[in-house]
Amino acid sequence: MTETSPQQTSVKKILPLILATAIFMQMLDSTILNTSLPSIAKDLHESPLNMQNAIISYVLTLAVFMPASGFLADRFGTKKVFIFSLVLFSFGSLLCSMSQNLTHLVISRVIQGVGGSLMTPVGKLALIKTFDKSELLKAMNFAIIPALIGPVLGPLVGGYMVDYLSWHWIFLINIPIGFLGIILGLKYMPNYKSTDVDFDLKGFLIFAAASLLLSVSLELFGDVQNISPVLFVFILGFLFLYYYYRHARRGGNPIFPLDLFQVRTFRVGIVGNMATRLGISSVPLLLPLMIQIAYKQSAVTSGWIIAPMALTAIFGKSSVIKILDRYGYRQTLMVNTFIIGTLICLLAIPDIHTSLYWFVPIIAILGFFNSIQFTSMNTISIADLRNFQTSSGNSLISVNQQLAIGFGIAFGLIVLKLFENSDLIGGETHNAFRYTFLTVGILTIISGFVFRRLHISDGKNMKSKED
Protein backbone atom coordinates (compact mmCIF):
# COMPACT_ATOMS: atom_id res chain seq x y z
CA MET A 1 0.00 0.00 0.00
CA THR A 2 1.34 3.47 -0.88
CA GLU A 3 1.83 5.96 1.91
CA THR A 4 -0.47 8.94 2.14
CA SER A 5 1.29 12.30 1.74
CA PRO A 6 0.60 15.17 4.20
CA GLN A 7 -1.18 17.04 1.39
CA GLN A 8 -3.52 14.06 0.77
CA THR A 9 -4.15 13.76 4.51
CA SER A 10 -5.13 17.45 4.69
CA VAL A 11 -7.44 17.07 1.68
CA LYS A 12 -9.14 14.06 3.26
CA LYS A 13 -9.68 15.98 6.50
CA ILE A 14 -11.05 19.15 4.91
CA LEU A 15 -12.97 17.81 1.89
CA PRO A 16 -15.94 16.46 3.91
CA LEU A 17 -16.17 19.88 5.60
CA ILE A 18 -16.24 21.62 2.19
CA LEU A 19 -19.06 19.35 1.00
CA ALA A 20 -20.89 19.85 4.31
CA THR A 21 -20.71 23.62 3.76
CA ALA A 22 -22.23 23.28 0.29
CA ILE A 23 -25.01 20.93 1.43
CA PHE A 24 -25.84 23.17 4.39
CA MET A 25 -26.17 26.25 2.18
CA GLN A 26 -28.39 24.46 -0.31
CA MET A 27 -30.64 22.77 2.26
CA LEU A 28 -30.93 25.91 4.39
CA ASP A 29 -31.83 27.98 1.36
CA SER A 30 -34.49 25.48 0.29
CA THR A 31 -36.40 25.95 3.55
CA ILE A 32 -35.44 29.29 5.12
CA LEU A 33 -37.71 31.18 2.72
CA ASN A 34 -40.89 29.42 3.90
CA THR A 35 -41.41 31.35 7.14
CA SER A 36 -40.25 34.62 5.55
CA LEU A 37 -42.63 34.83 2.57
CA PRO A 38 -45.31 37.01 4.24
CA SER A 39 -42.69 39.58 5.29
CA ILE A 40 -41.02 39.63 1.84
CA ALA A 41 -44.43 39.90 0.13
CA LYS A 42 -45.36 42.90 2.25
CA ASP A 43 -42.08 44.67 1.50
CA LEU A 44 -42.33 43.97 -2.25
CA HIS A 45 -46.05 44.90 -2.36
CA GLU A 46 -47.09 41.43 -3.52
CA SER A 47 -49.68 38.90 -2.40
CA PRO A 48 -48.12 36.13 -0.25
CA LEU A 49 -49.73 33.59 -2.61
CA ASN A 50 -47.77 34.99 -5.57
CA MET A 51 -44.53 34.62 -3.61
CA GLN A 52 -44.55 30.85 -4.18
CA ASN A 53 -42.81 31.64 -7.50
CA ALA A 54 -39.70 32.53 -5.53
CA ILE A 55 -39.60 28.96 -4.14
CA ILE A 56 -40.71 27.16 -7.30
CA SER A 57 -38.13 28.91 -9.52
CA TYR A 58 -35.30 27.67 -7.27
CA VAL A 59 -36.57 24.07 -7.14
CA LEU A 60 -37.12 23.93 -10.91
CA THR A 61 -33.65 25.27 -11.65
CA LEU A 62 -32.10 22.59 -9.43
CA ALA A 63 -34.08 19.86 -11.20
CA VAL A 64 -33.16 21.10 -14.69
CA PHE A 65 -29.41 21.71 -14.27
CA MET A 66 -28.37 18.90 -11.90
CA PRO A 67 -28.11 16.34 -14.75
CA ALA A 68 -25.32 18.43 -16.35
CA SER A 69 -23.19 18.50 -13.17
CA GLY A 70 -21.32 15.24 -13.93
CA PHE A 71 -20.38 16.28 -17.49
CA LEU A 72 -19.24 19.77 -16.43
CA ALA A 73 -17.09 18.30 -13.65
CA ASP A 74 -15.49 15.81 -16.06
CA ARG A 75 -14.94 18.48 -18.72
CA PHE A 76 -13.62 21.41 -16.65
CA GLY A 77 -12.55 19.71 -13.41
CA THR A 78 -14.26 19.33 -10.05
CA LYS A 79 -12.32 22.20 -8.45
CA LYS A 80 -13.14 24.82 -11.11
CA VAL A 81 -16.82 23.87 -11.35
CA PHE A 82 -17.23 23.74 -7.55
CA ILE A 83 -15.62 27.16 -7.02
CA PHE A 84 -17.71 28.58 -9.87
CA SER A 85 -20.89 27.16 -8.31
CA LEU A 86 -20.10 28.72 -4.92
CA VAL A 87 -19.37 32.11 -6.52
CA LEU A 88 -22.61 31.92 -8.53
CA PHE A 89 -24.66 30.84 -5.50
CA SER A 90 -23.23 33.62 -3.32
CA PHE A 91 -23.73 36.20 -6.10
CA GLY A 92 -27.34 35.01 -6.54
CA SER A 93 -27.85 35.37 -2.77
CA LEU A 94 -26.58 38.95 -2.89
CA LEU A 95 -28.94 39.75 -5.78
CA CYS A 96 -31.85 38.19 -3.85
CA SER A 97 -31.18 40.48 -0.88
CA MET A 98 -31.17 43.53 -3.21
CA SER A 99 -34.41 42.58 -5.04
CA GLN A 100 -36.87 45.45 -5.46
CA ASN A 101 -39.77 43.40 -6.86
CA LEU A 102 -40.90 39.81 -7.36
CA THR A 103 -39.45 39.56 -10.90
CA HIS A 104 -35.99 40.55 -9.63
CA LEU A 105 -36.29 38.00 -6.81
CA VAL A 106 -37.31 35.16 -9.15
CA ILE A 107 -34.41 35.89 -11.55
CA SER A 108 -32.00 36.01 -8.60
CA ARG A 109 -33.34 32.69 -7.30
CA VAL A 110 -32.72 31.12 -10.72
CA ILE A 111 -29.07 32.27 -10.57
CA GLN A 112 -28.88 30.81 -7.07
CA GLY A 113 -30.43 27.58 -8.35
CA VAL A 114 -27.85 27.16 -11.13
CA GLY A 115 -25.09 27.45 -8.51
CA GLY A 116 -26.91 25.07 -6.15
CA SER A 117 -27.48 22.49 -8.88
CA LEU A 118 -23.70 22.13 -9.39
CA MET A 119 -22.48 22.76 -5.86
CA THR A 120 -23.58 19.61 -4.02
CA PRO A 121 -23.27 16.97 -6.81
CA VAL A 122 -19.76 18.15 -7.79
CA GLY A 123 -18.62 18.32 -4.16
CA LYS A 124 -19.95 14.81 -3.58
CA LEU A 125 -18.24 13.56 -6.76
CA ALA A 126 -14.88 14.89 -5.54
CA LEU A 127 -15.46 13.08 -2.23
CA ILE A 128 -16.27 9.78 -3.99
CA LYS A 129 -13.13 10.00 -6.15
CA THR A 130 -10.84 10.98 -3.24
CA PHE A 131 -11.73 8.30 -0.69
CA ASP A 132 -11.34 4.54 -0.94
CA LYS A 133 -14.58 2.57 -0.62
CA SER A 134 -13.55 1.54 2.91
CA GLU A 135 -13.14 5.22 3.94
CA LEU A 136 -16.08 6.67 2.02
CA LEU A 137 -18.80 5.77 4.53
CA LYS A 138 -17.13 7.76 7.29
CA ALA A 139 -16.50 10.76 5.02
CA MET A 140 -20.02 10.77 3.56
CA ASN A 141 -21.46 10.30 7.05
CA PHE A 142 -19.87 13.56 8.21
CA ALA A 143 -20.87 15.55 5.13
CA ILE A 144 -24.53 14.41 5.13
CA ILE A 145 -25.43 15.87 8.55
CA PRO A 146 -26.19 19.36 7.14
CA ALA A 147 -28.83 17.72 4.93
CA LEU A 148 -30.63 16.79 8.14
CA ILE A 149 -29.96 20.01 10.06
CA GLY A 150 -30.68 22.48 7.22
CA PRO A 151 -34.42 21.76 6.80
CA VAL A 152 -34.89 21.92 10.59
CA LEU A 153 -32.90 25.11 11.18
CA GLY A 154 -34.26 26.82 8.05
CA PRO A 155 -37.73 27.76 9.35
CA LEU A 156 -36.33 28.57 12.80
CA VAL A 157 -33.51 30.81 11.55
CA GLY A 158 -35.82 32.41 8.98
CA GLY A 159 -38.43 33.20 11.63
CA TYR A 160 -35.93 34.85 13.95
CA MET A 161 -34.20 36.83 11.21
CA VAL A 162 -37.49 38.22 9.95
CA ASP A 163 -38.68 39.08 13.47
CA TYR A 164 -35.46 40.65 14.76
CA LEU A 165 -33.52 41.79 11.66
CA SER A 166 -35.09 41.87 8.18
CA TRP A 167 -35.84 39.37 5.42
CA HIS A 168 -32.72 40.48 3.51
CA TRP A 169 -30.54 38.62 6.03
CA ILE A 170 -31.92 35.20 5.08
CA PHE A 171 -29.98 35.62 1.81
CA LEU A 172 -27.00 37.60 3.13
CA ILE A 173 -26.19 34.77 5.58
CA ASN A 174 -25.08 32.69 2.57
CA ILE A 175 -22.27 35.07 1.61
CA PRO A 176 -19.86 34.44 4.54
CA ILE A 177 -20.60 30.69 4.38
CA GLY A 178 -19.97 30.73 0.62
CA PHE A 179 -16.76 32.74 1.11
CA LEU A 180 -15.50 30.13 3.60
CA GLY A 181 -16.32 27.37 1.09
CA ILE A 182 -14.43 29.22 -1.69
CA ILE A 183 -11.31 29.71 0.46
CA LEU A 184 -11.29 26.05 1.54
CA GLY A 185 -12.10 24.89 -2.01
CA LEU A 186 -9.22 26.85 -3.55
CA LYS A 187 -6.78 25.22 -1.17
CA TYR A 188 -8.13 21.69 -0.67
CA MET A 189 -10.58 20.77 -3.46
CA PRO A 190 -8.98 18.27 -5.89
CA ASN A 191 -9.47 18.95 -9.60
CA TYR A 192 -10.55 15.64 -11.11
CA LYS A 193 -11.14 15.56 -14.87
CA SER A 194 -11.98 12.94 -17.46
CA THR A 195 -10.27 12.72 -20.84
CA ASP A 196 -13.23 10.88 -22.41
CA VAL A 197 -15.92 13.57 -22.36
CA ASP A 198 -18.75 13.75 -24.86
CA PHE A 199 -21.81 15.73 -23.84
CA ASP A 200 -25.17 14.16 -24.69
CA LEU A 201 -27.04 17.40 -25.45
CA LYS A 202 -30.17 15.67 -26.75
CA GLY A 203 -30.32 13.38 -23.71
CA PHE A 204 -29.77 16.33 -21.38
CA LEU A 205 -32.63 18.30 -22.96
CA ILE A 206 -35.00 15.30 -22.81
CA PHE A 207 -34.13 14.52 -19.19
CA ALA A 208 -34.26 18.20 -18.22
CA ALA A 209 -37.75 18.44 -19.77
CA ALA A 210 -38.84 15.36 -17.78
CA SER A 211 -37.43 16.81 -14.53
CA LEU A 212 -39.04 20.19 -15.23
CA LEU A 213 -42.48 18.71 -15.97
CA LEU A 214 -42.38 16.40 -12.93
CA SER A 215 -41.24 19.26 -10.67
CA VAL A 216 -43.98 21.58 -11.98
CA SER A 217 -46.61 18.88 -11.43
CA LEU A 218 -45.35 18.38 -7.86
CA GLU A 219 -45.69 22.09 -7.11
CA LEU A 220 -49.18 22.17 -8.66
CA PHE A 221 -50.24 19.08 -6.69
CA GLY A 222 -49.76 21.13 -3.54
CA ASP A 223 -52.70 23.32 -4.55
CA VAL A 224 -55.10 20.84 -6.13
CA GLN A 225 -58.22 22.54 -7.44
CA ASN A 226 -58.56 21.10 -10.92
CA ILE A 227 -56.70 17.81 -11.07
CA SER A 228 -56.86 17.30 -14.86
CA PRO A 229 -54.12 19.72 -16.03
CA VAL A 230 -51.88 18.61 -13.15
CA LEU A 231 -52.23 14.95 -14.13
CA PHE A 232 -51.55 15.88 -17.75
CA VAL A 233 -48.26 17.59 -16.82
CA PHE A 234 -47.36 14.66 -14.53
CA ILE A 235 -48.02 12.04 -17.23
CA LEU A 236 -46.17 14.14 -19.81
CA GLY A 237 -43.15 14.14 -17.49
CA PHE A 238 -43.17 10.34 -17.39
CA LEU A 239 -43.56 10.19 -21.18
CA PHE A 240 -40.38 12.27 -21.49
CA LEU A 241 -38.66 9.83 -19.11
CA TYR A 242 -39.70 6.98 -21.41
CA TYR A 243 -38.44 9.01 -24.39
CA TYR A 244 -35.11 9.37 -22.60
CA TYR A 245 -35.05 5.59 -22.02
CA ARG A 246 -35.53 5.00 -25.75
CA HIS A 247 -32.81 7.56 -26.52
CA ALA A 248 -30.33 5.97 -24.06
CA ARG A 249 -30.96 2.48 -25.49
CA ARG A 250 -29.69 3.58 -28.87
CA GLY A 251 -26.16 3.71 -27.48
CA GLY A 252 -23.69 6.53 -27.90
CA ASN A 253 -22.71 8.26 -24.67
CA PRO A 254 -26.00 9.10 -22.86
CA ILE A 255 -25.84 11.53 -19.94
CA PHE A 256 -27.23 8.75 -17.68
CA PRO A 257 -26.18 5.35 -19.15
CA LEU A 258 -28.73 2.56 -18.67
CA ASP A 259 -25.98 0.22 -17.48
CA LEU A 260 -26.13 2.10 -14.18
CA PHE A 261 -29.37 0.21 -13.47
CA GLN A 262 -27.65 -3.11 -14.07
CA VAL A 263 -25.82 -2.42 -10.79
CA ARG A 264 -28.28 -3.91 -8.26
CA THR A 265 -27.18 -1.85 -5.24
CA PHE A 266 -27.50 1.35 -7.27
CA ARG A 267 -30.95 0.31 -8.50
CA VAL A 268 -32.18 -0.55 -4.99
CA GLY A 269 -30.67 2.64 -3.57
CA ILE A 270 -32.42 4.84 -6.17
CA VAL A 271 -35.83 3.15 -5.72
CA GLY A 272 -35.47 3.00 -1.94
CA ASN A 273 -34.56 6.68 -1.78
CA MET A 274 -37.66 7.62 -3.76
CA ALA A 275 -40.00 5.33 -1.79
CA THR A 276 -38.89 6.07 1.76
CA ARG A 277 -38.64 9.85 1.28
CA LEU A 278 -42.39 9.99 0.58
CA GLY A 279 -42.88 9.83 4.34
CA ILE A 280 -39.61 11.24 5.64
CA SER A 281 -39.77 14.44 3.54
CA SER A 282 -43.37 15.26 4.45
CA VAL A 283 -42.84 15.38 8.24
CA PRO A 284 -40.75 18.62 8.43
CA LEU A 285 -43.57 20.32 6.48
CA LEU A 286 -46.66 18.70 8.05
CA LEU A 287 -45.69 18.98 11.72
CA PRO A 288 -44.98 22.77 11.70
CA LEU A 289 -48.18 23.27 9.67
CA MET A 290 -50.20 21.34 12.26
CA ILE A 291 -48.66 23.27 15.15
CA GLN A 292 -49.44 26.60 13.48
CA ILE A 293 -52.88 25.77 12.01
CA ALA A 294 -54.40 23.33 14.52
CA TYR A 295 -52.61 24.40 17.71
CA LYS A 296 -52.55 28.12 16.74
CA GLN A 297 -48.88 28.52 17.66
CA SER A 298 -46.25 30.78 16.03
CA ALA A 299 -43.76 29.78 13.33
CA VAL A 300 -40.91 30.16 15.84
CA THR A 301 -42.64 27.78 18.28
CA SER A 302 -43.13 25.18 15.55
CA GLY A 303 -39.47 25.60 14.62
CA TRP A 304 -38.37 24.89 18.18
CA ILE A 305 -40.57 21.79 18.42
CA ILE A 306 -38.75 20.14 15.48
CA ALA A 307 -35.29 21.52 16.36
CA PRO A 308 -34.30 18.42 18.44
CA MET A 309 -34.29 16.49 15.15
CA ALA A 310 -31.07 18.30 14.22
CA LEU A 311 -29.33 17.51 17.50
CA THR A 312 -30.11 13.78 17.53
CA ALA A 313 -29.02 13.54 13.89
CA ILE A 314 -25.47 14.16 15.15
CA PHE A 315 -25.74 11.19 17.52
CA GLY A 316 -27.04 9.10 14.63
CA LYS A 317 -23.95 10.11 12.65
CA SER A 318 -21.65 8.77 15.36
CA SER A 319 -23.54 5.45 15.55
CA VAL A 320 -24.28 4.58 11.92
CA ILE A 321 -20.85 3.12 11.06
CA LYS A 322 -20.93 0.71 14.02
CA ILE A 323 -24.53 -0.29 13.19
CA LEU A 324 -23.73 -0.96 9.52
CA ASP A 325 -20.56 -2.88 10.41
CA ARG A 326 -22.54 -5.11 12.79
CA TYR A 327 -25.85 -5.64 10.95
CA GLY A 328 -25.05 -4.86 7.30
CA TYR A 329 -26.96 -2.64 4.88
CA ARG A 330 -29.89 -4.97 4.18
CA GLN A 331 -30.97 -5.50 7.79
CA THR A 332 -30.15 -1.94 8.85
CA LEU A 333 -32.18 -0.29 6.08
CA MET A 334 -35.19 -2.60 6.44
CA VAL A 335 -35.45 -2.29 10.24
CA ASN A 336 -34.57 1.41 10.21
CA THR A 337 -37.32 2.19 7.67
CA PHE A 338 -39.87 0.27 9.78
CA ILE A 339 -38.83 2.27 12.85
CA ILE A 340 -39.14 5.60 11.00
CA GLY A 341 -42.61 4.63 9.71
CA THR A 342 -43.72 3.65 13.22
CA LEU A 343 -42.48 6.96 14.67
CA ILE A 344 -44.41 8.89 11.99
CA CYS A 345 -47.54 6.91 12.95
CA LEU A 346 -46.98 7.88 16.62
CA LEU A 347 -47.34 11.56 15.62
CA ALA A 348 -51.03 10.75 14.97
CA ILE A 349 -51.77 9.74 18.60
CA PRO A 350 -52.02 13.11 20.46
CA ASP A 351 -55.38 14.89 20.27
CA ILE A 352 -55.87 18.66 20.20
CA HIS A 353 -55.77 18.88 24.01
CA THR A 354 -52.42 17.10 24.34
CA SER A 355 -49.35 19.18 25.21
CA LEU A 356 -47.06 20.10 22.31
CA TYR A 357 -44.14 18.72 24.31
CA TRP A 358 -45.48 15.22 23.55
CA PHE A 359 -44.04 15.58 20.05
CA VAL A 360 -40.50 16.46 21.18
CA PRO A 361 -39.24 12.95 22.11
CA ILE A 362 -40.78 11.42 18.95
CA ILE A 363 -39.12 14.05 16.75
CA ALA A 364 -35.82 13.65 18.62
CA ILE A 365 -35.79 9.87 18.07
CA LEU A 366 -36.87 10.38 14.45
CA GLY A 367 -33.83 12.61 13.82
CA PHE A 368 -31.52 9.85 15.05
CA PHE A 369 -32.96 7.22 12.70
CA ASN A 370 -33.23 9.66 9.76
CA SER A 371 -29.47 10.21 10.05
CA ILE A 372 -28.85 6.46 9.80
CA GLN A 373 -31.27 6.18 6.87
CA PHE A 374 -29.76 8.93 4.71
CA THR A 375 -26.15 7.85 5.25
CA SER A 376 -26.99 4.20 4.53
CA MET A 377 -29.03 4.94 1.38
CA ASN A 378 -26.45 7.35 -0.04
CA THR A 379 -23.51 5.01 0.45
CA ILE A 380 -25.15 1.77 -0.73
CA SER A 381 -26.22 3.56 -3.95
CA ILE A 382 -22.59 4.14 -4.93
CA ALA A 383 -21.09 1.01 -3.31
CA ASP A 384 -20.65 -0.99 -6.50
CA LEU A 385 -20.31 1.74 -9.13
CA ARG A 386 -17.11 1.59 -11.18
CA ASN A 387 -14.87 4.62 -11.67
CA PHE A 388 -16.28 5.46 -15.11
CA GLN A 389 -19.84 5.39 -13.66
CA THR A 390 -19.32 7.66 -10.68
CA SER A 391 -19.94 11.01 -12.42
CA SER A 392 -23.21 10.05 -14.10
CA GLY A 393 -24.33 7.88 -11.18
CA ASN A 394 -23.68 10.63 -8.64
CA SER A 395 -25.58 13.19 -10.76
CA LEU A 396 -28.57 10.86 -11.10
CA ILE A 397 -28.61 10.20 -7.34
CA SER A 398 -28.71 13.98 -6.71
CA VAL A 399 -31.57 14.50 -9.20
CA ASN A 400 -33.45 11.53 -7.71
CA GLN A 401 -33.11 12.92 -4.19
CA GLN A 402 -34.37 16.34 -5.29
CA LEU A 403 -37.42 14.84 -6.99
CA ALA A 404 -38.00 12.44 -4.07
CA ILE A 405 -38.12 15.33 -1.59
CA GLY A 406 -40.57 17.12 -3.89
CA PHE A 407 -42.71 13.99 -4.22
CA GLY A 408 -42.74 13.60 -0.42
CA ILE A 409 -43.87 17.17 0.23
CA ALA A 410 -46.51 17.04 -2.50
CA PHE A 411 -47.73 13.61 -1.36
CA GLY A 412 -48.13 14.80 2.23
CA LEU A 413 -50.14 17.86 1.12
CA ILE A 414 -52.38 15.79 -1.18
CA VAL A 415 -53.22 13.28 1.58
CA LEU A 416 -53.87 16.16 4.02
CA LYS A 417 -56.28 17.87 1.59
CA LEU A 418 -58.10 14.60 0.89
CA PHE A 419 -58.75 14.10 4.60
CA GLU A 420 -59.70 17.77 5.08
CA ASN A 421 -62.47 17.33 2.52
CA SER A 422 -63.70 13.99 3.94
CA ASP A 423 -66.30 13.22 6.61
CA LEU A 424 -63.79 11.20 8.64
CA ILE A 425 -62.35 14.20 10.49
CA GLY A 426 -65.67 15.38 11.98
CA GLY A 427 -64.96 19.00 11.15
CA GLU A 428 -61.70 18.96 13.14
CA THR A 429 -58.67 20.12 11.12
CA HIS A 430 -56.37 18.48 13.65
CA ASN A 431 -57.84 15.07 12.82
CA ALA A 432 -56.92 15.59 9.15
CA PHE A 433 -53.28 15.92 10.21
CA ARG A 434 -53.54 12.83 12.44
CA TYR A 435 -54.94 10.66 9.64
CA THR A 436 -52.27 12.03 7.29
CA PHE A 437 -49.44 11.05 9.65
CA LEU A 438 -50.99 7.59 10.02
CA THR A 439 -51.26 7.12 6.24
CA VAL A 440 -47.76 8.41 5.52
CA GLY A 441 -46.30 6.32 8.36
CA ILE A 442 -47.89 3.08 7.15
CA LEU A 443 -46.66 3.69 3.59
CA THR A 444 -43.15 4.35 4.95
CA ILE A 445 -43.22 1.01 6.78
CA ILE A 446 -44.27 -0.75 3.55
CA SER A 447 -41.46 1.02 1.61
CA GLY A 448 -38.90 -0.76 3.80
CA PHE A 449 -39.51 -3.97 1.84
CA VAL A 450 -37.70 -2.35 -1.13
CA PHE A 451 -34.44 -3.10 0.69
CA ARG A 452 -35.18 -6.86 0.73
CA ARG A 453 -33.63 -6.83 -2.76
CA LEU A 454 -30.24 -6.23 -1.13
CA HIS A 455 -28.03 -9.22 -0.34
CA ILE A 456 -26.68 -9.75 3.17
CA SER A 457 -23.13 -9.21 1.88
CA ASP A 458 -23.91 -5.96 -0.02
CA GLY A 459 -21.82 -3.01 1.10
CA LYS A 460 -18.99 -5.11 2.55
CA ASN A 461 -16.51 -3.05 0.49
CA MET A 462 -17.86 0.09 2.22
CA LYS A 463 -16.95 -1.13 5.70
CA SER A 464 -14.78 1.38 7.45
CA LYS A 465 -11.22 0.77 8.47
CA GLU A 466 -10.58 0.58 12.18
CA ASP A 467 -9.82 3.93 13.74
Tens of pLDDT, residues 50-73? 666 677 678 778 878 888 887 788
Average pLDDT over residues 453-462: 77
The CA-based dihedral angle spanning residues 67, 73, 76, 79, taken in that order and rounded to the nearest 10 degrees: 140
Average pLDDT over residues 387-391: 73
Collect all residues with Cβ–Cβ distance below 8 Å to 108 and sequence separation of at least 6. 92, 93, 95, 96, 98, 99
* Average pLDDT over the chain, rounded to an integer: 80
Tens of pLDDT, residues 128-183? 888 777 777 777 777 766 666 666 666 677 667 766 777 788 788 888 888 888 88
Report the candidate in 250, 270, 213, 302 with the shortest Cα–Cα distance to residue 454. 270
| Residue 91 pLDDT exceeds 90 | yes
**Rg (alpha carbons) of the chain, rounded to whole number:** 21
Residue ranges and CATH numbers for the domains of the chain are: 1-196 (1.20.1250.20), 200-254 (no CATH), 258-467 (1.20.1250.20)
Average pLDDT over residues 173-200: 81
Considering the entire predicted model, what is its pTM? 0.77
Distance between CA 189 and CA 337 in Å, rounded? Answer: 34
Collect all residues with Cβ–Cβ distance below 8 Å to 69 and sequence separation of at least 6. 81, 117, 118, 121, 122, 125, 395, 398
